[in-house]
Structure formats: C-alpha cells, structure tokens
Amino acid sequence: MDTKGEVLQMLKKAVETWDMELVHEASQNALSQGITPYEAIEKGLGKGMINISERFNEGLIFLPQVLAASKAMEEGMAVFEPFIGKDSPHTTKGNIVIGTVQGDVHEIGKHVVCAFLRGAGYSVFDLGRDVPPDDFLEAAKERNASIVAASALMTTTLIGQKKIVKCLKEEELNIKTLFGGACCTRKWVESIGGDEYCSCGSEVVECVDRMLKFNKGD
C-alpha cells in the first residue's frame, strides 16, 4: 500500500509527465486512501503544475508540453470534483460570478478556486475564459451575485480586472470584487479599487467567508 506522501508524489509526477493513465491511477489511489480532494489538488496535482511553470520559465519545456500537463491537471481535477463539498450544506452561502478576464485563456487556477468555493457551499457561476467586463456585470446582476471574481495570468490582461471594477462602480452595485492569478498582486488590486486579493486556492474560502461576513455587518 502506498503512503499518503507517495500518492501525492504520484499525482505530482502524473502532471509533470502529462501521463493520463497515471493521473487516473493516482487519483483513484488518493480517493481510496481517504486523501481529501483539497490535499490531492493543492499538494499533488497543483505541485506538479508549479514544477511545469518553473521548467517552462527556464526554457526546459515548451508550450505543447505545458498544454499537455494542463490537460492532465484538469483530468485529475475532474476525478475529484464530485467528491468536493459532498458534506457541505445544501443551502448556498452566496452567489459568486467568476471568470478569466478578456484576452486571457488561462483557467486552471480559476477551476481550482471554483472547486474549493463550491465545496465550501457557495454557488459559483463560471463564465469561462476570455470574458469581456460587461459579461461579468450582466451575469452578476442576473445571478444576484455577492461577489464578482476574476482571474488574470498575464501582465497584458490584468487591465481586464480594472475594467470590471469600473463597470461595477458605474452601476453603483453593491457587489464586492475578488481578484487573483499569477501576475495579480494585492498592491495592484488596491490600486484599481478592488475589494480583495487572494493568492491561492487554499486560502480563497477563508477570504470569501471574511468578505461576506463583512458585507453582512455593513
């Protein structure tokens, strides 16, 4: 029987080697060992993706390999998703509209964030990738959202987050904004008048819980 550490390593390796068979084997192994989906995603699959990012940055691998690893990560997440939030309450804690900003197709990190928030009992409406600012606004009104969240992975697309803040402020809607993504920082979010920044999936639930509690106290 593999130890928990070994199974997490297997998940990491499966993404690093974009080995679909290993992704399934390791994911099933994790489930049968009672490893939580959160741990499997953050400490297993996610660690593999971080390693892929580093190797890409160092020029050791190229876009096709990154894409293959991304697919392996998504495949693994799909195995865990049905088990996330199985024990969470059926009543929703609030509606969240999320998407990746216009011009940006990166969405693995956003999927991690969605999975964790759904698991914590929020209703999450994922608009996908390359989403224009107006679409965030319309979806937020339609869904009566408490929070609009947006991911941006590129310096060139960060501006999309600023446009979302502008759109929401123009309509004077009482909706909070939450931003993240590799090139997004707390300083940037403050500079555009956004409400919150969160750097990773494992902290997002705590962050959103805090934001909405603050809302209720208003």
Here the tokens at position 11 are: 């998940």
Residue whose entry in the numeric block shows the structure tokens 């390791």 = 26
Least separation, in Å, of the C-beta of 161 and ligand B12? Answer: 9
Of the residues 180, 189, 205, 211, which one makes contact with ligand B12 according to CB under 6 A: 180
Of the residues 40, 120, 149, 175, which one makes contact with ligand B12 according to CB under 6 A: 149
Least separation, in Å, of the C-beta of 1 and ligand B12? Answer: 29
**Residues 162, 133: contact at Cβ < 8 Å?**
no
- H helices present in the chain, as ranges: 4-16, 20-32, 37-39, 46-57, 63-80, 108-119, 133-142, 159-170, 186-191, 201-216
3-state SS class at 91: coil
Using rule CB under 6 A, residue 212 touches ligand B12: no
Using rule CB under 6 A, residue 67 touches ligand B12: yes
Give the integer Cα–Cα distance in Å for 54 and 31.
28
Using rule CB under 6 A, residue 60 touches ligand B12: no
Which span sits near ligand B12 by CB under 6 A: 78-86, 104-112, 138-146, 164-172? Answer: 104-112
Using rule CB under 6 A, residue 195 touches ligand B12: no
- Which residue in 51, 47, 82 sits closest to 66, CA to CA? 51
Using rule CB under 6 A, residue 101 touches ligand B12: no
- Which residue in 149, 114, 155 sits closest to 131, CA to CA? 149
How many residues line the site for ligand B12 (CB under 6 A)? 37
Binding site for ligand B12 (CB under 6 A): 46, 49, 52-53, 56-57, 63, 66-67, 70, 103-110, 112-113, 149-151, 153-156, 178-183, 198, 200-201, 204
